[in-house]
Amino acid sequence: MTLANPQDWEKPDGWFGGLHWGVAALVVVSLHAAGAWFFVQMPPVAAPPQGVPEAPILIDLAPPEQSAPAAPAVEAPPTEAEPEPAPPEPTAEPEPLPEPVTPPPPEPPPPEPAPPEPVVPPEPEPLPPEPVVPEPVVPEPPEPLPPEPVIPEPPPEVLPPVLPVTEQQADAVINAPVPRARPAPPRPPERAVTERRRPPPERRETPVRREARPRVERKTAPPPSRASTAKAAAEASQGAKSRVSANDEQRWRAQINARVRRFRRSVQGSGTAQVTFRVTTSGAATGIRLSSSSGNAIVDQAAVSVIQRASPFPPHPDGEATNVTIPFNYK
């Protein structure tokens, strides 16, 4: 039994060369047949519906892998082969010596940088002269004006604190008739003063000298003027007003207090507040203001609202507008 000589493998026209090319052709044909069968058996790609954009196809262009060459099949040598004469062993060619590597020439050292030129600082520009700021002229303060004389307001009339009364008493006081001023008695008519003249004396003729006697006349009082009549009427009405008794004043005050109690409500808070207002001739309450605060806004507002709800009040007996101050004590 003889083995194949490795030197025969290198011969292109030997039996090993034909086997090598046959195997390569067989492999190529097999790969093409497998690719054709794969594309035939692949299901058809469904067409996308209308209006839907097709997805992009990405193809990787990587280099294909080279298939390793198939190992040559070693056939069994024929059993009865005639021995061939052994060719002379080839002499081994000497391996070429590697070329000597010449080192690269050393790089020249970089040139030294030139020293920087000295920078001459620029001359500073002269500063502009500072502007002369004139001193501000302070105007003389004006002479203070003399204070205006303060006219003190007359203190409001303070009513006594409101005492609790029953509703029957309040209704009786409210419904009580308001006394009115009595009219002044009529003045007696003035008597007409007549001027009495004496008859002129008789003239007597005397032989001697005539002497004229002075004529004496009595002057009567002039009739009263309109101004004096109006003054007398005013004095008469003033006397009638002064005749309003203290009982009438107290009764009117009680009516005011009773009407205030009727409209008074309870308040969450405590304190004492005073409210001043003016009762007109018709009984309406005007100029309602808080003359003394309690320190509690709720109490102050409640006191003012009582006067607003209780208006109108009974007018004053003398028929004139009157200022009234009422204290409110909440506990």
Q: pLDDT tens track of the chain, all 331 residues?
A: 444 555 554 555 566 677 888 899 999 999 999 988 888 887 766 666 666 666 666 666 655 555 555 554 445 444 554 555 555 565 555 565 656 567 666 676 766 766 667 677 667 676 767 767 767 676 676 676 766 666 656 555 555 555 544 455 545 545 555 555 555 555 655 554 444 556 555 666 554 455 445 454 454 545 555 656 666 665 655 555 555 578 888 999 999 999 999 998 888 888 999 999 999 999 899 999 999 998 999 999 999 999 999 989 999 888 889 999 999 988 8
Show the 3-state SS of 74-91: CCCCCCCCCCCCCCCCCC
For tokens 């007549």, what's the residue? 194
Tell me if residue 131 falls in helix, strand or coil.
coil
Domains of the chain in sequence order:
167-174+245-330 (3.30.1150.10)
Token reading at 194 = 């007549």
Residue 229: the pLDDT is 60
For residue 256, give the nearest of 276, 271, 272 by alpha carbon: 276
Q: How far is CA 292 from CA 19, 101, 164, 224, in A?
A: 134, 120, 22, 52
| CB 289 within 8 Å of CB 300 | no
What is the rounded distance in angstroms from the CA atom of residue 241 to the CA atom of residue 316?
11
What is the rounded distance in angstroms from the CA atom of residue 174 to the CA atom of residue 289?
24
Q: How far is CA 197 from CA 14, 97, 218, 219, 331, in A?
A: 203, 193, 7, 10, 85
DSSP code, position 243? T
CB atoms within 10 A of CB 143: 6
What is the rounded distance in angstroms from the CA atom of residue 73 to the CA atom of residue 18?
12
| CB 257 within 8 Å of CB 326 | yes
For residue 278, give the nearest of 266, 263, 291 by alpha carbon: 291
Q: What length is written for the chain?
A: 331
For residue 213, give the nearest of 198, 231, 234, 196 by alpha carbon: 198
Query: Which residue blocks in the chain are alpha helix, DSSP H?
Result: 6-9, 15-41, 167-174, 226-242, 246-262, 297-310
What is the rounded distance in angstroms from the CA atom of residue 275 to the CA atom of residue 249?
20
As to burial, measured by CB atoms within 10 angstroms (0-12 exposed, 13-18 middle, 19+ buried), residue 324 is buried
H/E element, 324: strand 322-330
What is the rounded distance in angstroms from the CA atom of residue 226 to the CA atom of residue 232?
10
pTM, to two decimals: 0.32
Query: Phi/psi of residue 323, each to 5°?
Result: -85, 140
For the chain, the 3-state helix, strand and coil shares in percent, each to the nearest 5, are 25, 10, 65
CB atoms within 10 A of CB 314: 19
